[in-house]
Amino acid sequence: MLQLSKNDKSTRYNFIAFHIVITLIGYMYFQLFKNMEEGSKCLVKSLPVIIKNYKENKQKSIIIYSGQYFGVFSLKKTCQSSDKNDTQFSDC
């Protein structure tokens, strides 16, 4: 049988405690989601079922920055303009 040092036991305890805390926080957020308008239609479903069937309908964005300036662009439009111009991004 493998002998564990005192430090190994402490590390293992910390990992287990961290796992339990994160699981409880995830459960808390899931309960909050179910109380929101979007989550109210999922009251009888479990978290794995909701995650499997969830479809994100928000537009994805990309943030491009140079020095003190930045811009937030639609990822789809950025890719389309990159394909259309057939150029790569360069330093500003």
Q: What is the pLDDT along the chain (92 residues), one digit of tens a residue?
A: 445 556 667 778 888 999 999 999 988 988 888 888 877 777 777 778 877 877 777 778 888 888 899 888 887 777 776 655 555 554 43
Task: Give how far Cα 12 sits from Cα of 15, 48, 62, Å.
Answer: 5, 27, 39
- pLDDT attached to residue 1: 47
Digit-coded pLDDT (tens) for 51-76: 787 777 777 888 888 889 988 888 77
Please state the pTM of the whole predicted model: 0.43
Which range of residues forms the domain containing residue 61? 56-87
Q: Which two tokens stand for residue 3?
A: 């002998």
* Residue 92 covered by a domain: no
Our count of domains for the chain comes to 2
Q: Residues 73, 47: one domain?
A: no
* Residue 46 covered by a domain: yes
Round to whole Å and give the CA distance between 83 and 80.
5
- pLDDT attached to residue 2: 46
